Chains A and B, each alone.
Chain A
Amino acid sequence: DVKVTQSSRYLVKRTGEKVFLECVQDMDHENMFWYRQDPGLGLRLIYFSYDVKMKEKGDIPEGYSVSREKKERFSLILESASTNQTSMYLCASSGAASYNEQFFGPGTRLTVL
């Protein structure tokens, strides 16, 4: 059974804090993705990675960075959290081809106070 796990379901942080969101997949997938979901805006891609140590910016990378040191793990980092980063964050993974479906984690609801 395929699995994508995220380190926290709910997280509350203060403005200016450094925040780490971790994602682990057990399917040996090449691609991993970080999205945020906001009401009325759908799923927006923050960053993705197609290989270890490789990353590409998505549509809204500002204020975020990522790390992929191992194939199964993809971390999203908020260097200095701001209130406008309060959102639902979803991690996903997939095989390399464009026709490979993405498998999503359960999401992390982040609130920045």
Chain B
Amino acid sequence: ILNVEQSPQSLHVQEGDSTNFTCSFPSSNFYALHWYRWETAKSPEALFVMTLNGDEKKKGRISATLNTKEGYSYLYIKGSQPEDSATYLCAFPGGSARQLTFGSGTQLTVLP
């Protein structure tokens, strides 16, 4: 079983704060790194799929960076809003690379 670790486990920030969290994954046999957002009472939805070392992706106020050599990815949220409250999951393809191993997630709460 692959080790995909996320930190912190949970985070409370004030509206307007910027925040970031970390995903660590095995640095060997890299295929891709996925980020998903999972809001309460909804299904997980993909934010980014990153494939290249040094890759940087952005969607609105959310961005992510990737370092495949050292095995980590950062997710940044600029100017957090209450609607950003969710669990953020990263996932790493393992085994035959057909399936994903998910981290346990970072639960973000943005307080108004």
Which A residues fall within an 8 A CB radius of B? 4, 31, 33, 35, 40-45, 48, 50, 56, 58-59, 90, 92, 96, 98-107
A42 close to B105 (CB less than 8 A) = yes
**Interface residue B44 (Cβ < 8 Å from any Cβ of A):** yes
Residues of B within 8 A of A41 (CB): 104
Stretch at the interface among B11-19, B59-67, B70-78, B93-101: B93-101
B89 close to A99 (CB less than 8 A) = no
A42 close to B104 (CB less than 8 A) = yes
Taking the closest CB of chain A, its distance from the CB of B72, in whole angstroms, is: 18
Q: A42-B89, A42-B103, A58-B99 are in contact. Are A104 and B44 (CB under 8 A)?
A: yes
Residue contacts A-B, CB under 8 angstroms, 7 given: A33-B99, A56-B98, A59-B1, A101-B34, A101-B49, A102-B100, A106-B42
Closest chain A residue to B92, Cβ basis: A98
Residues of A within 8 A of B36 (CB): 102
The interface size bin for chain B is: 20 to 34
A43 close to B43 (CB less than 8 A) = no
**Interface residue B110 (Cβ < 8 Å from any Cβ of A):** no
B101 close to A40 (CB less than 8 A) = no
Q: A43-B89, A59-B1, A99-B32 are in contact. Are A104 and B99 (CB under 8 A)?
A: no
Residues of B within 8 A of A99 (CB): 31-32, 49, 51
Interchain residue pairs A-B with the least CB separation, the first 8 = A101-B46, A42-B104, A104-B43, A98-B93, A98-B31, A43-B102, A99-B32, A98-B97
